[in-house]
Structure 1
Amino acid sequence: MYTPPDFRDDDKDSIRATIRSVGLASFVTATPDGPVTTPLPLFLEETEGEHGVLYGHLARANPQWRQPSLGDALAIFSGPDAYITPAWYPAKKETGKVVPTWNYIAVHAYGPVEFFTDTDRLLAVVQRLTDRHERDRATPWAVSDAPPDFINALLRGIVGLRMPVTRIEGKRKMSQNKSDADRAAIAAGLSASNRPSDRQVASLVPVRKQS
């Protein structure tokens, strides 16, 4: 991932927070037939290894897990993003030398991938993923709410994924390379948007507080 110094995010806590915030990642492998990608919910087991280990599962009918992977796999986590119009920049009125851009957060995690079909390991992954996405609901659904025979049948239709993260890249492009006046205008413009993601990005643009 191309990351100029202004936008590099090397903070482990920030990177892990991004991974935790993303519900659906893109899981990519290189194969002899070209790159293959599957959108997958993944979770990071932070206690394993230097950078943690990613877990998830994909359909057994998905050919990605059967194809030999050339080198490391890649998991892409895309955080909040927003279009930045040059109309917000004070410089537009002064010089006109402004162009559109995009603000966004992204994390790319790399590592060797292992696929597995062991029922106990699969069930543990499914339970972790379910608990992660159900825990904030008023009445959380649990895997144990379904009949065991039904769950066991479904487990036979999926394949587990384990990817120890050996390299990780974080990028946080939030107008850090702009002037204080530009950043203040960007944050104000995004805050007035009807799009929730725009307002979320507005809160992430670094704005100098007036003394």
Structure 2
Amino acid sequence: MYIPAHFDESRPEALHALINEAPLGTLITHGPQGLDANHIPFELAAAEGEFGTLRAHVARANPVWQQLTDGDEVLVVFRGGDAYISPSWYPSKHEQHRQVPTWNYRVVHAHGRIAVRDDERFVRGLVARLTRTHEAALPTPWKMTDSAPEYIDTLLKAIIGIEIRITRLVGKFKLSQNKEVRDIHGAAEQLKARGEDVIGDAMSALLVPGRAS
């Protein structure tokens, strides 16, 4: 990934925060049939390994797990929002007429080595944790015990666990950092007025001391 210096985000805590905020990752693999991409919600264990460990599950019917060998190198891409930026939103454009459209976004690339975990205990624990995490904000959180045990057992047998030990984390937060402060503010306010708060708020955070990126 091409990363100009002003868009580079290398702080592990910022990269981990984006993964937790946007856990649906794109798992990119290279097997006997060539390149493949699967879109999977991941759990991040930030304290496990130098850069953290990712865990997820796929359908047993999905051939991706059979086309991999433990230790194969894979890439997982996480996207934390994106938005079109009009040059008209930059105050300086109206004075200098030297601005053009662009697209802002935040992405994290997690490089790592994968292991297939065809292990009922691993899968059951992972599903339970993912459920607790994503149901927590709901008025009446669903629990695995809300369903009949035999029904859950059948479903768990139909999925396979995967675990990725992250070996390298790369982040690109493209938020108009190469623009004047007034231009960042102008574009951020326009985005928020249009309901595009994820990138709008991220741009506004650049202007708050101690909250860059």
TM-score of the superposed pair, with normalisation by structure 1: 0.91
Q: Map residues 2-81 of structure 1 onto 2, 5 A cutoff.
A: 2-68=2-68, 71-81=72-82
Per the TM alignment, residue 23 of structure 1 is displaced from its structure 2 partner at its CA by 3.6
Show structure 2 runs of 5+ residues with no match.
none
The one-letter amino acid paired with 2:125 is A
Name the CA distance, whole Å, in 2 between partners of 1:4 and 1:164: 27
Distance change in 2, residues 1:123/1:71 (3 Å): closer
Paired-residue identity, % = 38
Picking from 177, 200, 203, the partner of 1:202 is 200
State how many pairs are aligned: 206
Aligned partner of 1:161 in structure 2 is: 162
Per the TM alignment, residue 9 of structure 1 is displaced from its structure 2 partner at its CA by 0.9
Name the CA distance, whole Å, in 2 between partners of 1:114 and 1:208: 41
Per the TM alignment, residue 71 of structure 1 is displaced from its structure 2 partner at its CA by 4.4
Name the CA distance, whole Å, in 2 between partners of 1:71 and 1:6: 32
Name the CA distance, whole Å, in 1 between partners of 2:32 and 2:178: 40
The one-letter amino acid paired with 1:199 is D
Aligned partner of 2:145 in structure 1 is: 144
Aligned partner of 1:192 in structure 2 is: 193
Per the TM alignment, residue 148 of structure 1 is displaced from its structure 2 partner at its CA by 1.4
Per the TM alignment, residue 39 of structure 1 is displaced from its structure 2 partner at its CA by 0.7
Name the CA distance, whole Å, in 1 between partners of 2:35 and 2:177: 33
Q: Confirm or deny: 8 A CA contact 2:60 2:158 kept in the other structure.
A: yes
- Stretches of 4+ moved more than 6 A in 1? none
Name the CA distance, whole Å, in 2 between partners of 1:191 and 1:160: 39
**1:38-84 CA distances to partner (integer Å, 9 max, x unpaired)?**
11010101221111110000001111111136941111110022110
Aligned partner of 1:101 in structure 2 is: 102
TM-score of the superposed pair, with normalisation by structure 2: 0.90
Q: Confirm or deny: 8 A CA contact 2:104 2:175 kept in the other structure.
A: yes
Per the TM alignment, residue 181 of structure 1 is displaced from its structure 2 partner at its CA by 2.3
Comparing 137-146 and 158-167, the one that deviates more:
137-146
The one-letter amino acid paired with 2:199 is V
Distance change in 2, residues 1:156/1:14 (3 Å): same
Show structure 1 runs of 5+ residues with no match.
none
Give the root-mean-square deviation of aligned CA atoms: 1.7
Q: Confirm or deny: 8 A CA contact 2:72 2:114 kept in the other structure.
A: no
The one-letter amino acid paired with 2:197 is R
